[in-house]
């Protein structure tokens, strides 16, 4: 096949940011080997579907997408979390060309080579140093580890993605540096459990720019914080190590943003979930973090209606919410995931009760989130521009992660580019978003 007519691959990426990073890596390799990317099934010689298998709805979506790709193209390779359940994929779609599990770049590329040989010459010289990215140019996900060593009873990620394997510290910092050189202004650090980074490496020493560091989240975060861009940490399991990250946030090295999935506040439910930390101690820790870093934004996720959850335990969760006054909260009604240990627990709740509790939970939290946003009116904050329109632009403050949190809407026509940092004055808020004007000092 000539370089002028390269083989074309269609690619569908489903699921979470961790999966997106896997997709970016496969796409980078495809481009490096001379494959062209197709934005339609019809125009592709082959389609790769990177699937999600986290909850049943994600499995359904993944199977549906594979079906669509088979209908419209016919030559399909499946990878990602659902690929770890090969028999299930084969049962639904016996005609797929090949299946690999998550984080299996070489196996995916092997399947691609077998079914669609590469162009005679690759394009590595033309590739951006940061590789192919699926996010806008000014922010990027930085995956620091694969897999998870925790045993949360409702989750099957460890069986899909295996135990934690941390990436070498110098490889992460090298990637971060090349992302920054290519124009990235915000690094979003992801792993299944970012705070546990390096434990599987026994926190071994590593060198970066001639300096000795240890392979642990505190050293990694501090080094990332020296790159001169926003660094946001995601998926922080509530380990003790979090206490050592907050001073870096207070010192401005990391964004003052803790994405800390807590899942529940009742001791018994947490035990059944095989999760740590009961409410009183967590409230104390939150108060301590806020005392050290008053601008801290706290995001968390919770599951309501877990098997056996009594009304009193649910009320304890609401009481925790009222006391903790978290800024951003996501919540889910418990739904069993095929293969999860929690499925064997007694006391499954009826669907209506789970939904009713979810609504009560969200009613309490929406009021708190709205109050937390309203308290920022009048403040001056730095905002990173995401989208620039004719007479307004949309950005995010330190407290807003892309895709999951709110945004800051700023009126007026401004000569800006996505990725610019601008100081604004917050003038209004609603339940999710902030409204702002460019502050007088920035205008002057
Ligand atoms: S920390 Fe728990 S919920 Fe998160 S991936 Fe690991 S097992 Fe799943």
Tell me what pLDDT residue 133 has.
Answer: 72
Identify the DSSP state of 227.
S
Residue 158 Cβ contacting ligand 1 at under 6 Å: yes
Would you say the CB of residue 289 lies under 6 angstroms from ligand 1?
Answer: no
Helix (H, G, I), strand (E, B) or coil at 285: helix
The answer to whether the beta carbons of residues 225 and 248 sit under 8 Å apart is: yes
Q: Is 155 in the pocket of ligand 1 (CB under 6 A)?
A: yes
Q: Is 237 in the pocket of ligand 1 (CB under 6 A)?
A: yes
pLDDT at 30: 87
pTM of the model: 0.82
Whether the pLDDT of residue 298 is over 90: the answer is yes
Distance 124 CA to ligand 1 centre (A): 36
Q: What is the pLDDT of residue 120?
A: 56
From ligand 1's centre to the CA of 225, what distance in Å? 26
pLDDT reported for residue 276 = 79
**d(Cα 195, Cα 203) in Å, to the nearest integer?**
12
Give the chain's count of helices (H) and strands (E).
Answer: 13, 20
Task: Kindly state the percentage of the chain with pLDDT values over 70.
Answer: 94
Answer whether 273 contacts ligand 1 (Cβ < 6 A).
no
CA of 248 to the centre of ligand 1 (A): 25
Question: Which atom of ligand 1 sits closest to the CA of residue 275?
Answer: 2
User: 302: Cβ below 6 Å to ligand 1?
Assistant: no
- Output the CA 394–ligand 1 centroid distance in Å: 33
157 CB within 6 A, ligand 1: yes
Cβ of 192 less than 6 Å from ligand 1: yes
At 436 the pLDDT is 97
Compute, in angstroms, the gap from residue 157 CA to the centroid of ligand 1. 6
pLDDT at 126 over 70: no
pLDDT for 444 equals 41
Strands annotated E in 158-227: 165-166, 186-190, 205-208, 211-214
Cα–Cα distance measured from residue 311 to residue 269, given in angstroms and rounded to the nearest whole number: 12
**pLDDT for the residue 21:** 85
Q: Taking a C-beta distance cutoff of 8 angstroms, is the pair 79, 49 a contact?
A: yes
The yes-or-no verdict on residue 123 having pLDDT over 80 is no
Going edge to edge, which strands form the sheet with 230-233? Answer: 139-143, 186-190, 230-233, 257-259, 297-304, 328-333
> Based on the number of CB atoms within 10 Å of its own CB, is 415 exposed (0-12), middle (13-18) or buried (19 or more)?
exposed
Residue 309 CB less than 6 A away from ligand 1: no
**Environment class of residue 443 by beta-carbon count within 10 Å: exposed (0-12), middle (13-18) or buried (19+)?**
exposed
Distance 192 CA to ligand 1 centre (A): 6
Instruction: Return the ligand 1 atom nearest residue 235 CA.
Output: 4
Rounded Cα gap, residues 378 and 374, in angstroms = 9
Residue 16 confidence (pLDDT): 83
Pocket lining: 183 vs ligand 1, CB cutoff 6 Å: no
Which amino acid residue places its CA nearest to atom 1 of ligand 1? 150
Counting residues of the chain whose pLDDT is more than 90, the rounded percentage is 69
Q: Is 400 in the pocket of ligand 1 (CB under 6 A)?
A: no
Taking CA atoms, 227 is separated from 75, 249, 256, 296, in Å, by 43, 14, 16, 21
277 — pLDDT class (breaks 50, 70, 90)? low
Binning pLDDT at 50, 70 and 90, where does residue 122 land? Answer: low
- Please give the pLDDT value at position 239: 79
Query: Could you give the CA distance from residue 244 to residue 226 in angstroms, rounded to a whole number?
Result: 17
Please say if the pLDDT value at position 390 is more than 50: yes
Cα dist from 290 to 246, 293, 294, 325, 327, whole Å: 9, 5, 5, 11, 12
pLDDT, one tens digit per residue, over 46-105 is 999 999 887 778 888 999 999 999 999 999 999 998 888 888 899 999 999 999 888 777
Residue of minimum CA distance from atom 8 in ligand 1: 155
Q: Which atom of ligand 1 is nearest to the CA of 161?
A: 5
- Work out the number of other CB atoms within 10 angstroms of the CB of residue 287: 12
**Residue 3: predicted pLDDT:** 42
The H-assigned helical ranges of 141-216 are 157-161, 169-181
| Cα-only R_g, the chain | 23
Helix (H, G, I), strand (E, B) or coil at 100: coil
State how far the Cα of 88 lies from the Cα of 101, in Å rounded to an integer: 12
Measured by CA distance, the residue closest to atom 4 of ligand 1 is: 192
Residue 231 · residue 225 · CB < 8 Å? yes
- Eight-class DSSP state of 407: -
Which helix (DSSP H) or strand (DSSP E) does residue 142 occupy? strand 139-143
Can you say how many angstroms the Cα of residue 273 is from the centroid of all Cα atoms in its chain? Answer: 22
Residues 335-362 have a mean pLDDT of 94
Contact present, 145 and 172 (Cβ < 8 Å): no
Taking CA atoms only, the protein residue closest to ligand 1 atom 2 is 152
Task: Please work out whether the CB of residue 148 comes within 6 Å of at least one atom of ligand 1.
Answer: yes
The mean predicted confidence, pLDDT, of the chain is 90
CA of 168 to the centre of ligand 1 (A): 21
Which residues does residue 345 pair with via DSSP β-bridges, in sequence order?
A: none
The string of pLDDT tens digits covering residues 148-186 is 999 999 998 888 889 999 999 999 999 999 999 989 999
- Kindly state if the Cβ of 182 falls inside 6 Å of ligand 1: no
For 196-223, the pLDDT digits (tens) are 999 999 999 998 988 899 999 999 999 9
Ramachandran angles phi, psi of 243, nearest 5°: -60, -30
> Could you write out the DSSP letters of every residue in 26-66?
HHHHHHHTTPEEESSSTT-SEEEEEE--SSHHHHHHHHHHH
Query: Which helix (H) or strand (E) is 19 found in, with range?
Result: helix 17-32
């Amino acid at each position: 096949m000539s370089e002028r007519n390269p083989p074309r691959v269609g690619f569908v990426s489903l699921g979470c940011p961790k999966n997106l990073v896997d997709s970016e890596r496969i796409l980078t390799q495809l481009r490096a080997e001379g494959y062209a990317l197709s934005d339609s099934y019809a125009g592709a010689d082959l389609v790769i579907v990177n699937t999600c298998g986290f909850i049943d709805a994600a499995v359904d979506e993944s199977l549906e997408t594979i079906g669509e790709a088979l209908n419209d193209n016919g030559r399909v390779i499946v990878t990602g979390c659902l690929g770890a359940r090969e028999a299930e994929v084969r049962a639904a779609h016996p005609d797929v060309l090949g299946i690999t599990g998550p984080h299996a770049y070489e196996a995916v590329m092997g399947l691609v080579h077998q079914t669609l040989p590469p162009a005679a010459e690759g394009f590595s010289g033309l590739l951006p140093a940061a590789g192919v990215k699926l996010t806008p140019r000014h922010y990027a996900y930085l995956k620091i580890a694969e897999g998870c060593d925790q045993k949360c009873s409702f989750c099957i990620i460890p069986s899909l993605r295996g135990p934690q394997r941390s990436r070498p510290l110098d490889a992460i910092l090298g990637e971060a540096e090349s992302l920054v050189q290519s124009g990235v202004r915000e690094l979003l650090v992801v792993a299944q459990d970012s705070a546990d980074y390096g434990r599987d490496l026994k926190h071994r020493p590593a060198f970066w720019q001639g300096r000795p560091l240890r392979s642990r989240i505190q050293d990694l975060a501090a080094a990332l914080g020296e790159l001169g861009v926003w660094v946001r940490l995601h998926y922080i399991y509530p380990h003790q190590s979090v206490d050592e990250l907050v001073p870096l946030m207070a010192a401005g090295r990391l964004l003052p943003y803790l994405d800390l999935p807590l899942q529940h506040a009742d001791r018994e439910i947490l035990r059944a979930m095989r999760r740590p930390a009961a409410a009183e101690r967590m409230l104390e820790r939150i108060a301590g973090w806020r005392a050290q870093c008053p601008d801290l934004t706290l995001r968390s996720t919770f599951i309501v209606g877990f098997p056996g959850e009594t009304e009193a335990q649910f009320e304890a969760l609401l009481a925790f919410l009222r006391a903790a006054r978290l800024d951003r909260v996501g919540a889910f009604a418990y739904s069993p995931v095929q293969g999860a240990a929690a499925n064997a627990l007694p006391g499954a709740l009826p669907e209506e009760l789970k939904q009713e509790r979810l609504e009560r939970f969200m009613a309490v939290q929406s009021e708190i989130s709205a109050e937390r946003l309203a308290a920022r009116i009048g403040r001056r904050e730095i905002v990173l521009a995401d989208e620039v329109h004719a007479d307004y632009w949309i950005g995010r403050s330190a407290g807003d992660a892309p895709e999951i949190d709110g945004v800051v809407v700023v009126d007026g026509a401004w000569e800006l580019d996505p990725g610019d940092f601008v100081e604004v004055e917050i003038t209004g808020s609603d339940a999710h978003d902030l409204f702002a004007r460019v502050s007088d000092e920035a205008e002057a």
